Structure 1
Amino acid sequence: MLKVPTVDVLAITTVGNGYSKPFYSGSNILTFLDLIGCSNGIGVGYGVNLPLMSSGYIIPSSLLNAIDSYMTAATCLNQSVNIFLQPSPFGAIELIKLSLKYSKIPVDILILGTMTNLATAISEDRSIISKIGSVYFSGGQFKSINSYPSLVPNLTLPNYPDSEENSDGSPNAYLDMLAVQRVGMSGIKNIVAMPLIIQNTMPINLTQLNETLKRLNIQLKPFVLNFISSFAKCTSPNQTTIYLKWWDNSAAQFMVQMQTNNSQGFCLETQKVKSLYILSADSHQFYGQGMIDVETYLPNASGL
């Protein structure tokens, strides 16, 4: 994204409620920008540490610290941290509000984690909504409503947010469903979601990647290529490169495709859907869930 000539990156913000603990989230971004030669001119803001849910909501440790040491661990990228790198003097929320407030044109926002920062910024200053162009949401996937046999809460199910009950949904959505609801209902004119089920159909073939780079005469820095190819082994010792998918990469590419009206891009079909957001303290069946295709399937759902 940083090298795409049609994209001007204003700022990057982090959240501490998924995949990386608060302290590491911003440090990883600063280290990455420094290693690719882009440490100047892009503000990095530390964001909200907890989801907008109740403080009793516990994030599974498997999702909270999955990539804490991705940059620096000897078994992963084994990079040194430049201790002189500094984040923006503004936190993520203020950085979002200021970037939008002083922009002369609508700003597109690419979300690769939860929507917590954006939801918080909108709650504090709704005037920024008019400055938002499109929001692109990686892993923006909810269950189809026909996946629920009933909409009557099943009180025997455990109230735990990271289990097979959420397997049809994306962690980026259900880790802070209240944030998704606030952004979805805020009045932003265009929200584009890249479903996880689609992203999982796009494996990273390293042989094909190397051949493509060679054919197009593109030379990646060794660090960048290693950054892409090491994700599987670094996040789980038992995973192989077969596990690698173009997750967030595909959402970023889709954003560029839509911004440039490129009909020949990799995504050939889109679908307009309406979603219903559910928060339930009584049953994990609904806890932090969203449901899509509500207009199509809602009449067939029992339990309303």
Structure 2
Amino acid sequence: MPPLCPQDCVSLSPTFVDPVSIEVYSHTARTMRDDFEFYAGLLPGEFTRISKMPIYHISLQPSLALAFSSFEIAFKAPDMVLKAVYDLYVSNSQCRLEDRTRFDSVEWPSISGSSLLLDEEIRIVYTKHPVTGEVTTHTHPFPHLPKFTISAAHPALLTLQATKFRLYNQCNPLDMLTQMFLMRSTYTPHPSFYKDWSAYWREDPAGSSASTAVSSMKRKALGNANIYHKRPRKSSDDVDAKKASPQRGQERRPVHDVRRTEKMHTSPRRSTCPLDSR
């Protein structure tokens, strides 16, 4: 088995330069980002805050960075990592919104040994030995392309990017990554999750302690908005007691009933209309 290759030692150009840092998932459409927030245990709109963290960035060669941002390539994590992501997503889709587990609070398996997924139009890839600097040319179907080590970028975010790659390339082999894509139709997000919570994030104060307090408030509000959070049903004793209450037989006056409760005057009132005096 060939040694693992660093993520910044693979390129679509034979000339290797200093790597550039890019976002792991730069697509502007909100559908998959909203779904990620739900399945990954985040609060609505929190993807914006996550995108400013180091776990949301990856360093690549410029030629590869462009292809990565346009979903022409992707790094597929080992099956052990994909299985962990899958299990988290399923678990979070079957519990109350406020009881979900955050993806950044879980200890993940190592992402070392990731595979490079390539668009069918890419026919040549170059790798550089991290010690000797020797450049190796790999041609389609890339039988000797090594596995890669990924630093900083979070496995769940890389999986999100790889899932989008599969969607773009309409290639769905029967593997764990395809199951990650198909599970979204089986374990659908709670409808109440898709409220507009952007105002909460605009009002975030500075400071870690204050941010934690506001995050707690948001999570509580999200729990209150959960349509699946039902009230406990009353016992049969409570229902029977309510039926036996003497107040049940009394007629209730509607709110809009404006009838006077005091005795009406029997003497006629003098008209103030000038026509009546004629």
For Structure 1 versus Structure 2, the TM-score category normalised by the shorter chain is under 0.3
Structure with the higher fraction of residues in helix conformation: 2
Q: TM-score, with normalisation over the residues of structure 2?
A: 0.24
Q: Which has the larger radius of gyration?
A: 2
Kindly indicate whether structure 1 or structure 2 has the higher relative contact order, using CA contacts under 8 Å at least 6 residues apart.
Answer: 2
Please give the TM-score of this superposition, normalised by the length of structure 1: 0.23
